[in-house]
Amino acid sequence: MKRVIGAVLALSLAPAAMAEKLPLSAISSYLNDLKTAQATITQINDDGSVNTGKLLLKRPGRMRFEYDDPNAALILASANAVYIVDPKSNQPPETYPLRRTPLSLILARNVNLSQANMVTGHSFDGTATVVTAQDPEHPEYGNIQMKFTGNPVELRQWVVNDSGGGSTTVVLGELSKGGTLSNRLFQPPSRGN
């Protein structure tokens, strides 16, 4: 299992050319310019299990994770909340305030990684620039560790370290930027779903 995860991570960063650490201003600009995007994902969960699926992003404030079978779950960030929909359950979706999750940092209307106490780590690992960020007013909500390659700047993966001590890694396939994504894709699920 560890070899598979290592191979996935290595392949996701393979296109990176020899580069140097990207400045926070360049990463903030990249995220602010990123309006819509789609990518396949490989998600490595805290328990070591692996899920695949698709990510749809519509900034500000909206993200959709559609997971492949056998999981077939849906995670939706929209309307200032995160909804977790389990199609196998008769229970209503689990709901959390988006502002209490580290994803709120990259879904914000204006990303400013130079804001005081937001970035707790900024390094170059030989392949990618690694930025660890948190809500400066609520570090207890957890943090997000993002990896970016340069030439051009590209988000490759992130790790969400949540307030409960869990960690979830999302590795992005090729990011298809631009285009139109219907607002219906990000519509919060009804209570009956």
Q: How would residue 191 be classed by pLDDT, with cut points 50, 70 and 90? A: low
Model confidence at 12, in pLDDT bands (50, 70, 90)?
very low
Burial of 158 (0-12, 13-18, 19+ CB in 10 A): buried
60 cis-preceded (ω within 30 degrees of 0):
yes
Query: Would you list the domain boundaries of the chain?
Result: 17-174
pLDDT digits (tens, 9 = 90+) for 14-66: 444 446 899 999 999 999 999 999 999 999 999 999 999 999 999 999 999 99
Assess contact for 12 and 24: CB atoms under 8 A. Answer: no
pLDDT for the residue 162: 87
Question: What is the distance, to the nearest Å, from the Cα of residue 25 to the centroid of all Cα atoms in its chain?
Answer: 19
Residue 15: per-residue pLDDT: 45
Instruction: Give residue 119's Cα distance to chain centre.
Output: 16
Q: How high is the pLDDT of residue 37? A: 96
Say yes or no to pLDDT of 6 above 50. no
Digit-coded pLDDT (tens) for 68-114: 988 889 999 999 999 999 888 888 899 999 988 888 888 999 999 99
Residue 11 binned pLDDT confidence (cut-offs 50, 70, 90): very low
Task: Find the length of the chain.
Answer: 193
Q: What is the pLDDT of residue 89?
A: 83
Q: How confident is the model at residue 187 (pLDDT cuts 50, 70, 90)?
A: very high
- Decide if domain 17-174 falls under CATH 2.50.20.10: yes
Instruction: Give the confidence band of 164 by pLDDT, cuts at 50, 70, 90.
Output: confident
Residue type, 189: P
In angstroms, the CA 102 to CA 20 distance is 26
**Residue pLDDT, tens place only, 115-162:** 888 999 999 999 999 999 998 888 999 999 999 999 899 999 999 998
